[in-house]
C-alpha cells in the first residue's frame, strides 16, 4: 500500500453503500487525500457483515459468524488501515465431528505446501481410505490451474474425478460448497478450485482462519473515525434515491432523504439488487442497459444462523465442522469473544446454502439445531436452553454458477466520474468480505487514476509457497 503519499487532495467523492466494499473504497480514498462522504441507508455500517442488538435476546449478535482466511489480503489491509487488525484471532486448526462425537482434527504440519495438511488428513477418521485416495486424486488434479473461462460445474468435475460419497458429503459439499454458499452443481469449477488452492494448497498461512473477537459492527468504528478525522463525513440512515450528472459543472448530485448531496466523483458500492433499483434513476447513458442485463443474471443464496445460550459449558472447542446433519458449523462465541464470558455458553450454528432451512419458523429452526447439536455433544440433552435467536439472511451471497464472470462488471461504469464496487463486481473472488474489499480498492484506484494521480491500493495476493511455487512455475 502506498500510504504515505497524499494525492487528489481536496477532490470530493461520495461513496454510496456502507458495507465492506464501500468502507474499503472510502477509507483508501480518504487516505489518498480526498474529501469523502460515505452514505449508508441503514443506521449502522457493515452491510451484510454486521452486528445488531437483537431485541428478542437482548444481546449484540453478528448477523452471522463471518470468517476470513490468511489469503484475504485486502480485507486484512482494510482492517489494518482502520486500526482493528488486532481484533482478529487467527487459528490454523479445524475439527470435524461426526454424529456420536468422534473427532478428526485437520490442520497444517511442518511439511511444505501443498503437503502441509496431508498428515492430519491421512489420520482423519471422518474419511475412509477410499475417501482419502479420492481427495488425493482431486488435489493432485488441482495442482494444474483451471482455465478461468472453464464452464464446467464443480459437480461435473467431481463426477469426472471419481469422488466417493464420503469425500462428496464431508468435504466437497460441507467445506467447499458451504464456503461458496451454493449447491455443487451451481458452482463454477474455477471458483471451487480457487477456494481449494487458497485454503488447502498454497500455504499454511493462506489457509489459516480469522475470527473477530468483537461484534462485527465494532470493527467499523475505526472506519468512521478515519473518515471524519480526514475531513470526510459518514451519513447514516440516508438512502440514495437517484443520481444526476451536471456535465457543465462536472459534478454529481444525489437525491437522498435529507436533501441533495453533491460531489465530483461517485462510487456506487451497492449489492446487485440495490444497484438494479437505482439504475433507472441514473442518467440515461449508452451501456446502462447492458449493465442492467448483467445484474439480471445474478441470483441470491441464503445463510441462516441459530444462536443458542445454554446454562452450562457444551464444549471446550472454539469451533467445529459438524458432519452429516443440517447444521454445518459451530462457533463457540462465548470462548471466541472472551468479554462475553459468563456462566454457561453461547454457541452459534451456521447453515449454508439451504433454502429449506431458511423457510423454517424460528421455533422449528431452533428445535432442529438443538437436536442436531445434541448428536455431537450429548451434554446438550441435560443442559437448559436459556434463550435462542434465529437469523435468516435470504440475500446473503450471490451465486457463482458457470459463466457468471461475463455478468460481473468491472469498476468502470457507463457514466463519467462514476465507479462501481461491491462483492458481485469483477474481482475473481466469490461473494466474500475479501471480494467486497478488493472491489472497493479497485474502485479507489480507478478514482485516483481519474484525478491523474494513480496509486497502488490493491493489496497483492500472498502467492504460493513450498512445492506449490514449483507447481505454479511448471504450469506456466
Ligand atoms: C449470513 C452471511 C454470512 C456470511 N459469511 C461470510 C463469511 O464467513 N466470510 C465472508 O468473507 N463473507 C461472508 N458473507 C458475505 C459477505 O458478508 C459479503 O460478501 C460482503 O459483506 C458484501 O459486502 P458489500 O459491501 O459488497 O455489500 P453489502 O454488505 O451488501 O453493502 C452494501 C450496503 O449498501 C447499502 N445500501 C443499499 N442501498 C442503498 C442506497 N440506496 N443508499 C445507500 N445505501 C444503500 C446497504 O444497506 C449495505 O449496507 C456472509 C454474508 C452473510 C449475509
Give 422-462 pLDDT, tens digit per residue.
999 999 999 999 999 999 999 999 999 999 999 999 999 99
Q: Count CA atoms within 13 Å of residue 24 on its CB side.
A: 33
* CB distance 451 to 420 below 8 Å: no
Instruction: State the pLDDT at residue 338.
Output: 85
Decide: pTM greater than 0.85.
Answer: yes
Return d(Cα 414, Cα 418) in angstroms, integer.
Answer: 8
Neighbours of 296 (CB within 10 A): 11
The residue to which cell 441470483 is assigned? 299
Residue at grid coordinates 452491510? 47
Q: Residues 96-109: what's their mean pLDDT?
A: 97
Nearest to 424 by CA among 299, 266, 332: 299
Structural contact between residues 32 and 6, judged by C-beta atoms closer than 8 angstroms: yes
Cβ–Cβ under 8 Å, residues 431 and 8: no
How far is the CA of 356 from the CAs of 52, 181, 330, 361, in angstroms?
25, 14, 19, 11
Mutate to test the pocket of ligand 1, among 20, 38, 47, 242 (most ligand atoms within 8 A of CB): 47
Please state, rounded to an integer, the average pLDDT across all residues of the chain: 95
CA of 169 to the centre of ligand 1 (A): 28
CB of residue 61 inside a 6 A radius of ligand 1: no
Looking at the chain, the whole-number percentage of residues with pLDDT higher than 70 is: 98
Q: Which residues contact 50 (CB under 8 A, 6 or more apart)?
A: 44, 62, 63, 216, 217, 220
Q: Which residues contact 223 (CB under 8 A, 6 or more apart)?
A: 23, 26, 27, 38, 45, 82
The closest alpha carbon to 45, from 204, 185, 220, 244, belongs to: 220
74-103 CB burial, b ≥16 within 10 A, e <16: bbbbbbebbebeebbeeeeebbbbbeeeee
Q: Which of 238, 300, 433, 439 to mutate to test the pocket of ligand 1 (most atoms within 8 A of CB)?
A: 433
pLDDT of 314:
97
Note the pLDDT tens digit of each residue in 151-198: 999 999 999 999 999 999 999 999 999 899 999 999 999 999 999 999
Provide the CB-side half-sphere exposure for 411 (13 A, CA). 29
> For ligand 1, atom 20, which residue shows the shortest CA distance?
433
Give the Cα separation of 124 and 309 in Å (integer). Answer: 30
Task: State pLDDT tens for residues 302-328.
Answer: 999 999 999 999 999 999 999 999 999
For 119, other C-beta atoms within 10 Å of its C-beta total: 14
User: For the residues 409-418, what does the mean pLDDT come to?
Assistant: 98
Q: Is the separation of the CB atoms in 318 and 163 below 8 Å? A: no
Closest ligand 1 atom to Cα of 42: 47
Is residue 202 in contact with ligand 1, taking CB distance under 6 Å?
A: no
Instruction: Specify the pLDDT at position 2.
Output: 44
Q: Do residues 404 and 151 lie in contact, with contact meaning Cβ atoms separated by under 8 Å? A: no
Asked whether the beta carbons of 332 and 347 are under 8 A apart, the reply is yes
Q: How would you class 238 by CB atoms within 10 Å of its CB: exposed for 0-12, middle for 13-18, buried for 19 or more?
A: buried
Q: Look at residue 476 in the predicted model and tell me its pLDDT.
A: 64
Residue count (the chain)? 476
Q: How many CB atoms lie within 10 A of CB 199?
A: 20
| For residues 392-406, average pLDDT | 96
Atom 48 of ligand 1, residue of closest alpha carbon: 47
pLDDT digits (tens, 9 = 90+) for 20-73: 999 999 999 999 999 999 999 999 999 999 999 999 999 999 999 999 999 999
Residue 40 grid coordinates: 449508508
pLDDT of residue 341: 74
In whole angstroms, give the CA distance from residue 351 to residue 327.
5
Amino acid at each position: 500500500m502506498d500510504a504515505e503519499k497524499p494525492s487528489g487532495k481536496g477532490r470530493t467523492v461520495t461513496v454510496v453503500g456502507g458495507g465492506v466494499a464501500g468502507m474499503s473504497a472510502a477509507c483508501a480514498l480518504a487516505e489518498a487525500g480526498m474529501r469523502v462522504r460515505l452514505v449508508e441507508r441503514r443506521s449502522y455500517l457493515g452491510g451484510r457483515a454486521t452486528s445488531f442488538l437483537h431485541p428478542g435476546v437482548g444481546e449484540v449478535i453478528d448477523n452471522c459468524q463471518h470468517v476470513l482466511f490468511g489469503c484475504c489480503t485486502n480485507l486484512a489491509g482494510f482492517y489494518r488501515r482502520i486500526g482493528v487488525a488486532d481484533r482478529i484471532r487467527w487459528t490454523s486448526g479445524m475439527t470435524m465431528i461426526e454424529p456420536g462425537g468422534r473427532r478428526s482434527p485437520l490442520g497444517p504440519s511442518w511439511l511444505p505446501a501443498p503437503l502441509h495438511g496431508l498428515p492430519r488428513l491421512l489420520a482423519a477418521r471422518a474419511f475412509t481410505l477410499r475417501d482419502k485416495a479420492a481427495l488425493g486424486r482431486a488435489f493432485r488434479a488441482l495442482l494444474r490451474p483451471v482455465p478461468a473461462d472453464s464452464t464446467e460445474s464443480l459437480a461435473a468435475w467431481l463426477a469426472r474425478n471419481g469422488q466417493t460419497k464420503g469425500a462428496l458429503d464431508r468435504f466437497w459439499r460441507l467445506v467447499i460448497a458451504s464456503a461458496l454458499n451454493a449447491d455443487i452443481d451451481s458452482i463454477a469449477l474455477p471458483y471451487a478450485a480457487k477456494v481449494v488452492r487458497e485454503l488447502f494448497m498454497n500455504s499454511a498461512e493462506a489457509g489459516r482462519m480469522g475470527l473477530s473477537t468483537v461484534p462485527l459492527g465494532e470493527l467499523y468504528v475505526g472506519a468512521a473515525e478515519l473518515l471524519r478525522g480526514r475531513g470526510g463525513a459518514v451519513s447514516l440512515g440516508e438512502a440514495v434515491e437517484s443520481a444526476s450528472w451536471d456535465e457543465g459543472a462536472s459534478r454529481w448530485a444525489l437525491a437522498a432523504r435529507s436533501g441533495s448531496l453533491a460531489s465530483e466523483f461517485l462510487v456506487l458500492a451497492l449489492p446487485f439488487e440495490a444497484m438494479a433499483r437505482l439504475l433507472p434513476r441514473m442518467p440515461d447513458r449508452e451501456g446502462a442497459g447492458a449493465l442492467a442485463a448483467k445484474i439480471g443474471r445474478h441470483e441470491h443464496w441464503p445463510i441462516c444462523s441459530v444462536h443458542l445460550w445454554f446454562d452450562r459449558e457444551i464444549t471446550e472447542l472454539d469451533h467445529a465442522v459438524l458432519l452429516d446433519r443440517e447444521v454445518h458449523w459451530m462457533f463457540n462465541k462465548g470462548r471466541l469473544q472472551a468479554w462475553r464470558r459468563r456462566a454457561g455458553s453461547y454457541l452459534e450454528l451456521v447453515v449454508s446454502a439451504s433454502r429449506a432451512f431458511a423457510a423454517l419458523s424460528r421455533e422449528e429452526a431452533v428445535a432442529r439445531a438443538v437436536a442436531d447439536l445434541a448428536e455431537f455433544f450429548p451434554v446438550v440433552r441435560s443442559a437448559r436452553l436459556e434463550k435462542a435467536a434465529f437469523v435468516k439472511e435470504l440475500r446473503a451471497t450471490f451465486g457463482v454458477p458457470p459463466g457468471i464472470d461475463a455478468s460481473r462488471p468491472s469498476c468502470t461504469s457507463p457514466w463519467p466520474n462514476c465507479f462501481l464496487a461491491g462483492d458481485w463486481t469483477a474481482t475473481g473472488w466469490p461473494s466474500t468480505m475479501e471480494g467486497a474489499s478488493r472491489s472497493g480498492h479497485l474502485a479507489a484506484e480507478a478514482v485516483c487514476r481519474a484525478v491523474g494521480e494513480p496509486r497502488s491500493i490493491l493489496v497483492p495476493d500472498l502467492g504460493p509457497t513450498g512445492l506449490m511455487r514449483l507447481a505454479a512455475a511448471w504450469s506456466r
